[in-house]
């Protein structure tokens, strides 16, 4: 038994023995102290061994003070270890030296005695019975069978599952299989929320389930739902939300799903390149790509754009009445692509800037994730707490998701080249949107940057240096834009909204150019859909000073559809936390699903059965 062996046990060194002896006034010789120390060590070990027996018989895993005292008592030794407690006693290390001690808080008895909140006594011990497994299977629900995946869940998880299914669906569809749910948007929506709360639940280790969650989310993004035939159904929101969720999953569970990333990119690409697919699927693919970050956009959407553009153009150019519906869808896709591309350009520019600046100083407090994602070397990690930020709308989330891209060196296409090419598709709308947020006033890559701006955007020269303010402003403008959008089923615009939103962006923006732009945009609601349609053919050609017509083409249709749905949904959970100050209340209606859905409260209603069972 050498040093190594010795260290397995607690030891009382000789010095301690001497010290203790001195404290009681006994002087010990070195020899005696050594012997005593050894004996003490042995006795301690012995007592510990014995006490473990009490622990085992009490069917516990943790040795308690009580156990040790019992062991001492049964070896007829004074119990010295004080009183036991149910809770584990945390050992605290002392910084100086390797000393550990149990924290012993001082209790102010006076305060305790005079306290008004009298502590409740422990609840009475009771027995509750519940059927855990029927016929060896976990089919608890009387009205049907529980899917197989659920069988393996523990009883409490099973309860959780039941609560969830009851709260969300009222029926018994499989947790993981969205396909068994009908194409009811309402249900899908709830389901997505459930997925979200699952993902957010820090106490739930999803493990391999993440994959199935991702697949169900993908379903929501891409599937040409039956419900989308009816233009009144707001499946766009669903897709947006699903995309947002997807990015969220990748953000929180990146480690679990990292292998899925490329798979998902591939499937999105496939959908995008498949002209047979309806436009809503395309829309989903674009939004999904956007959600996966600008890298994804750059890799998949951008190279695809030339091919895809032809299709889209064909749709948009078709003025026939019968095509109206499809065309409206096309506009949406167009808007989505525009947003995605814009994001891509911005991020690229930003990355260039930052790379040049040494990647440090930029954007201290802007995009919420600016700090977080830089530290994070994970393949794709959206910024931390995208959900805790004031709900600026889906776009802001997308932005957040997009912002969280890795700082990799993968830049096959130079920014100017990309811009030029994209400009050839989008024309001025791109220029306008891009310049709404030029955060790189004096940025080093001005060689490429400045000429661009100078060429396309007269206002670019404006001293628009305040990065911190710019990002929110962008999101605001993105949110505004759908109001002017000419989607066919657009609901009457709440009058307050038009006033408030630009006002806000105005207030938040320090750039005169953007102010004027937002003014002009809000002052041009009269621009009809037909007007905006004209943009498309013209988009090929630079149309510099027409104003900001394309402004209206940003993700459209967000506000349409059944607003109340989202509302209703939220109330079915715990009350929605009041939306914070930034967005006007009207927004809350428009954007019902902004990550504010708290997870269902775990209730234990099931446990209140009587003990009686037909035995």
Partner 1 sequence: MCLWCRIRQKIPKKKKTYYAAHVMTPLLSAPGKKMAAVQDAPMELDAEKETKPEILSDGTSNLSGNTASGTLSSPPLTAGGAPKQEDQQTLIAVLQFLRRNKLTESVEILRREACLEDQEDSQTLDGSGGGKGDGDGGDANSLLSRVSIASAAAPQSTLTPIPVKNDQPDVSVVLSAYSQQGDPSLYQVYYSSLKNFIESVLDCHRAELSQLFYPLFVHMYLELVYNNHENKAKAFFEKFSGDQECYYQDDLRILCGLTKKEHLKGNEALLDFRTSRFVLRISRDSYQLLKRHLQERHNNQIWNIIQEHLYIDIFDGMPRSKSQIDSMSGSFAGETRREVNKAKVFYGLLKEPEIEVPLDDEDDEAENEEGKPKKKKTKKDSMGSKSKKQDPNAPQQNRIPLPELKDSDKLDKIMYMKESTKRIRLGPENLPSICFYSFLNAYQGLTAVDFTDDSSLLAGGFADSTVRVWSATPKKLRKVKSAAELNLIDKESDDVLERIMDEKTASESKNLYGHSGPVYGVSFSPDRNYLLSSSEDGTVRLWSLQTFTCLVGYKGHNYPVWDTHFSPFGYYFVSGGHDRVARLWATDHYQPLRIFAGHLADVTCTRFHPNSNYVVTGSTDRTIRLWDVLNGNCVRFFTGHKGPIHSLAFSPNGKFLASGSTDGRVLLWDIGHGLMIGELKGHTDTIYALKFSRDGEILASGSMDNTVRLWDSMKAFDDMETDDFTAATGHIHLPDNSQELLLGMYHSKSTPVTHLHFTRRNLLLAAGAYNSQ
Give the footprint of partner 1 on this chain (CB under 8 A).
1-2, 5, 8-9, 38-39, 41-43, 45-46, 49, 53-54, 56-61, 66, 70, 74-77, 86, 88, 122-138, 152-157, 607, 610-613, 615
Closest CB 157 distance from partner 1, rounded Å: 6
C-beta separation of 211 from 218 below 8 A: no
Query: Looking at beta carbons only, is 154 or 574 nearer to partner 1?
Result: 154
DSSP string, 440-473: -TT-TTHHHHHHHHHHH-GGGGS----HHHHHHH
Closest CB 38 distance from partner 1, rounded Å: 7
Closest CB 131 distance from partner 1, rounded Å: 5
Closest CB 84 distance from partner 1, rounded Å: 10
Query: Looking at beta carbons only, is 54 or 423 nearer to partner 1?
Result: 54
Q: Give the Å distances, CA to CA, from 84 to 80, 106, 572.
A: 11, 17, 45
Query: Looking at beta carbons only, is 41 or 355 nearer to partner 1?
Result: 41
Query: Looking at beta carbons only, is 76 or 545 nearer to partner 1?
Result: 76
C-alpha 337/C-alpha 330 separation (Å) is 10
Query: Looking at beta carbons only, is 71 or 415 nearer to partner 1?
Result: 71
Packing angle, helices 155-168 and 185-200, rounded to 10: 140
Query: Looking at beta carbons only, is 78 or 409 nearer to partner 1?
Result: 78
DSSP string, 93-121: EETTTTEEEE------HHHHHH-SSPPPP
* Dihedral (CA of 63, 64, 65, 67) sign: negative
Closest CB 172 distance from partner 1, rounded Å: 19
Both tokens of 480, joined, read 């505004």
Closest CB 116 distance from partner 1, rounded Å: 25
Query: Looking at beta carbons only, is 115 or 131 nearer to partner 1?
Result: 131
Closest CB 50 distance from partner 1, rounded Å: 9
Closest CB 611 distance from partner 1, rounded Å: 5
DSSP state letter for 299: I
C-alpha 182/C-alpha 153 separation (Å) is 25
DSSP string, 302-368: HHHHHHHHHHHHHHHH---GGGHHHHHHHHHHHHHHHHHHHHHHHHHHHHHHHHHTTSSSS-SSSST
Query: Looking at beta carbons only, is 175 or 588 nearer to partner 1?
Result: 175
Query: Looking at beta carbons only, is 143 or 322 nearer to partner 1?
Result: 143
Closest CA to 490 of 295, 290, 331, 277: 331
* Dihedral (CA of 383, 388, 389, 394) sign: positive
C-alpha 105/C-alpha 108 separation (Å) is 9
DSSP string, 182-203: -S-HHHHHHHHHHHHHHHH-TT
Closest CB 140 distance from partner 1, rounded Å: 10
């Amino acid at each position: 038994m050498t040093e190594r062996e010795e260290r397995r046990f607690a030891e009382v060194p000789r010095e301690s023995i001497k010290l203790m002896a001195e404290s009681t006034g006994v002087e010990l010789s070195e020899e005696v102290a050594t012997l005593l120390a050894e004996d003490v060590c042995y006795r301690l070990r012995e007592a510990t061994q014995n006490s473990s027996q009490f622990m085992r018989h009490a069917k516990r895993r943790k040795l308690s003070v009580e156990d040790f005292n019992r062991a001492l008592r049964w070896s007829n030794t004074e119990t010295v270890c004080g009183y036991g407690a149910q809770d584990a006693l945390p050992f605290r290390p002392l910084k100086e030296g390797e000393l550990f001690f149990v924290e012993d808080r001082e209790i102010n008895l006076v305060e305790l005695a005079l306290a008004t909140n009298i502590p409740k006594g422990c609840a009475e011990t009771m027995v509750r019975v519940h059927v855990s497994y029927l016929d060896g299977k976990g089919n608890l629900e009387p009205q049907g069978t529980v899917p197989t995946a659920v069988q393996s869940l523990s009883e409490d998880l099973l309860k959780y599952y039941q609560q969830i299914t009851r709260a969300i669906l009222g029926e018994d569809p499989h947790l993981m299989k969205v396909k068994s749910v009908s194409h009811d948007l309402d249900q899908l929506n709830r389901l997505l929320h459930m997925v979200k709360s699952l993902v957010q639940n820090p106490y739930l280790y999803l493990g391999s389930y993440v994959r199935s969650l991702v697949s169900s989310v993908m379903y929501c993004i891409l599937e040409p739902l039956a419900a989308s035939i009816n233009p009144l159904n707001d499946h766009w929101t669903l897709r947006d939300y699903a995309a947002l969720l997807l990015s969220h999953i990748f953000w929180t569970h990146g480690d679990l799903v990292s292998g899925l990333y490329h798979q998902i990119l591939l499937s999105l690409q496939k959908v995008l390149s498949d002209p047979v697919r309806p436009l809503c699927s395309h829309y989903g693919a674009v939004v999904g790509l956007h959600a996966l970050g600008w890298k994804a956009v750059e890799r998949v959407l951008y190279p695809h754009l030339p091919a895809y553009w032809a299709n889209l153009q064909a749709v948009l150019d078709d003025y026939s009445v019968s095509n109206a519906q499809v065309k409206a869808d096309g506009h949406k896709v167009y808007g989505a692509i525009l947003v995605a591309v814009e994001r891509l350009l911005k991020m690229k520019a930003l990355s260039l800037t930052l790379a040049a600046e040494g990647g440090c100083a930029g954007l201290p407090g802007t995009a919420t994730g600016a700090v977080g994602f830089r530290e994070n070397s994970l393949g794709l990690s959206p910024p931390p707490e995208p959900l805790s930020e004031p709900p600026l709308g889906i776009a802001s989330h997308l932005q957040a998701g997009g912002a969280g891209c890795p700082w990799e060196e993968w830049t096959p296409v130079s920014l100017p080249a990309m811009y030029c090419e994209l400009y050839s598709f989008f024309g001025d709308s791109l220029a306008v949107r891009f310049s709404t947020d030029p955060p790189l006033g004096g940025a080093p890559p001005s060689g490429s940057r400045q000429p661009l701006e100078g060429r396309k955007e007269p206002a670019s020269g404006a001293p628009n240096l305040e990065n911190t303010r710019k990002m929110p402003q962008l999101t605001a403008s993105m949110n505004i834009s759908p109001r002017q959008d000419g989607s066919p089923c657009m609901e009457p615009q709440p009058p307050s909204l038009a006033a408030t939103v630009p006002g806000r962006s105005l207030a938040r923006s320090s750039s005169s150019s953007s102010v004027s732009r937002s003014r002009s945009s809000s002052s041009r609601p009269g621009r009809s859909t037909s007007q905006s349609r004209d943009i498309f053919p013209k988009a090929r050609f630079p149309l510099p000073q027409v104003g900001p017509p394309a402004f209206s083409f940003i993700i459209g249709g967000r506000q349409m559809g059944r607003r109340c749905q989202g509302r209703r949904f939220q109330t079915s959970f715990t009350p929605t936390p009041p939306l914070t100050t930034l967005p006007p209340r009207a927004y809350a209606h428009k954007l019902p699903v902004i990550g504010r859905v708290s997870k269902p409260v775990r209730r234990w209603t099931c446990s209140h059965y009587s003990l009686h069972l037909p035995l």
